[in-house]
Amino acid sequence: VPEATSGVLGELRGKARARLEPAHWDFFEGGAGRETALAENVRAFGRLALLPRVLRGAGEPDTAVELPGARASTPVLIAPTAFHRLAHHEGERATARAAAAAGTVLITSMASTTAVADVVAAAREVRADAAVWFQLYLQPRADVTEALVRRAEEAGCTALVVTADSPVFGRRARDDRNGFHDLPPGMAAENMRGLPGAPPDAPLDIAMSPALSWDHLRGLRERTELPILVKGVLHPDDARHAIGEGAAGLIVSNHGGRQLDAAPATVEALPRITEAVAGRIPVLLDGGIRSGADVVTALALGAAAVGVGRPVLWGLAAEGEAGVARVLAELTGQTAHVLALCGARDCADLNRDQVVLRGARGV
Ligand code: FNR
């Protein structure tokens, strides 16, 4: 996998790798199948170049973005990732504090090792208006989904992110090889405790089901006032369909290459999605974002913001809250710098024609 080896992200990645148990490192770092989608997410950004605009008098760029249930001071959001206590003993609380301090959105995973109420409380201790979105896998039992949504609402989450790319679990060779399928003793998927059908002293397993459909999404919409973003959309027709179902936003994602290994790089799928959506709702992207240039490339192709998964886990594993803060500061600082170099006054002041293929004729 062509991952960062230099700079702040490379340093944190190296430190995380040295600190983590190999099976936990592999869980965070790995992907499905032959890890083609995982590698391509990163590589595809390397195939793209940015055409700067000059002498536009843009001034200092403003990196703030307006999103459903959040105003963020940076277009770099934290993508939902499972099990932060495997990376650091403070787990999701540390991530939440760093996100709040940076003024960005934490999309907290349903598979977190800290209950959502405690995640939001940690963020709000730092900043009273911190935005935390709750990532949800729709459950085959409607009462389980409903109980999870009530918890997210009561915790103070300001949007739901429904992950739609996981009708079945991805097959991850590294986890199979390492026999990594369960959390170590003392850690659990805390959001899954005390749900309908759960055993008294253990959390319910997160279910994935290929029987889930747009009907389930509609059912969810009828039961919550929170804006719903659909994560894992790659086909333009699904983007249109999601709008028809009232989605407040989309996240173009292949789950960091952890589900369908044959999926395209997300930045390659993005233009057709933004075209289909035509500005009706915000489109976000995650997968392979490792620099400010990657962020600006996605913005130029029509993304409203991006999510980062693994780099946040590197920061968390390496240095806890301070490491996550360093990742966010580095990516946001680079983004502001690249915006300035491209003559952009803010995250929306970019055009698709500024992204070109490297090596192509006619550039
Ligand atoms: C994820 N991702 C993920 N997505 C989701 O909707 N719910 C989840 O619980 C998880 N868990 C998870 C764990 C780990 C270890 C990783 C690496 C990823 C996917 C995540 O939200 C995002 O789509 C990718 O991580 C983005 O790609 P990068 O930034 O890691 O390249």
pLDDT at residue 201, as a whole number: 86
17 annotated to a ligand binding site: no
pLDDT at residue 5, as a whole number: 79
Question: Which of 227, 224, 252, 226 shows the shortest CA–CA distance to 239?
Answer: 252
Ligand 1 nearest atom to the CA of residue 41, by list position? 31
Catalytic residues: 255
Does residue 289 line the site of ligand 1, with CB under 6 A?
A: yes
Give the mean model confidence (pLDDT) for residues 103-127.
Answer: 98
Q: How far apart are CA 119 and CA 142, in angstroms?
A: 24
Q: How confident is the model at residue 360 (pLDDT cuts 50, 70, 90)?
A: low
Look at residue 359 and tell me whether its pLDDT is greater than 90.
Answer: no
pLDDT at residue 200, as a whole number: 86
Look at residue 1 and tell me whether its pLDDT is greater than 80.
Answer: no
Ligand 1 nearest atom to the CA of residue 110, by list position? 9
Report how far ligand 1's centroid is from the alpha carbon of 53 (Å).
Answer: 34
pTM higher than the cut 0.90: yes
Residue having the nearest C-alpha atom to atom 8 of ligand 1: 81
Does residue 267 line the site of ligand 1, with CB under 6 A?
A: no
Give residue-wise pLDDT tens across range 206-218. 999 999 999 999 9
Q: Locate 23 and state its tokens.
A: 């099976």
258 annotated to a ligand binding site: yes
β 355-357/48-50 pair status: antiparallel
Residue having the nearest C-alpha atom to atom 10 of ligand 1: 81
Report which of residues 6 and 31 the model is more confident about: 31
Mutate to test the pocket of ligand 1, among 119, 139, 258 (most ligand atoms within 8 A of CB): 258
Does residue 164 line the site of ligand 1, with CB under 6 A?
A: no
Dihedral, CA atoms, 305, 310, 314, 317, nearest 10 degrees? 110
Give residue-wise pLDDT tens across range 216-241. 999 999 999 999 999 999 999 999 99
Does residue 268 line the site of ligand 1, with CB under 6 A?
A: no
Residue having the nearest C-alpha atom to atom 15 of ligand 1: 28
Give residue-wise pLDDT tens across range 245-290. 999 999 999 999 999 999 999 999 999 999 999 999 999 999 999 9
Portion of the chain with pLDDT greater than 70, in percent: 99
pLDDT at residue 2, as a whole number: 79
Ligand 1 nearest atom to the CA of residue 163, by list position? 6
Q: What angle do CA 69, 301, 8 make, to 5 degrees?
A: 75
Give residue-wise pLDDT tens across range 50-63. 999 999 999 999 99
Give residue-wise pLDDT tens across range 318-346. 999 999 999 999 999 999 999 999 999 99
Q: Supply the DSSP symbol for 166.
A: -
Does residue 266 line the site of ligand 1, with CB under 6 A?
A: no
Contact 355/296 with Cβ under 8 angstroms? Answer: no
Contact 107/161 with Cβ under 8 angstroms? Answer: yes
Mutate to test the pocket of ligand 1, among 38, 255, 261 (most ligand atoms within 8 A of CB): 255
Look at residue 363 and tell me whether its pLDDT is greater than 80.
Answer: no
Does residue 30 line the site of ligand 1, with CB under 6 A?
A: no
255 annotated to a ligand binding site: yes
Residue having the nearest C-alpha atom to atom 5 of ligand 1: 80
Report how far ligand 1's centroid is from the alpha carbon of 333 (Å).
Answer: 23
Portion of the chain with pLDDT greater than 90, in percent: 95
HSE-up of residue 232 (Cα within 13 Å, Cβ side): 17
Residue-wise DSSP of 115-144 = -HHHHHHHHHHH-TT--EEEEEPPPSSHHH
Ligand 1 nearest atom to the CA of residue 135, by list position? 6
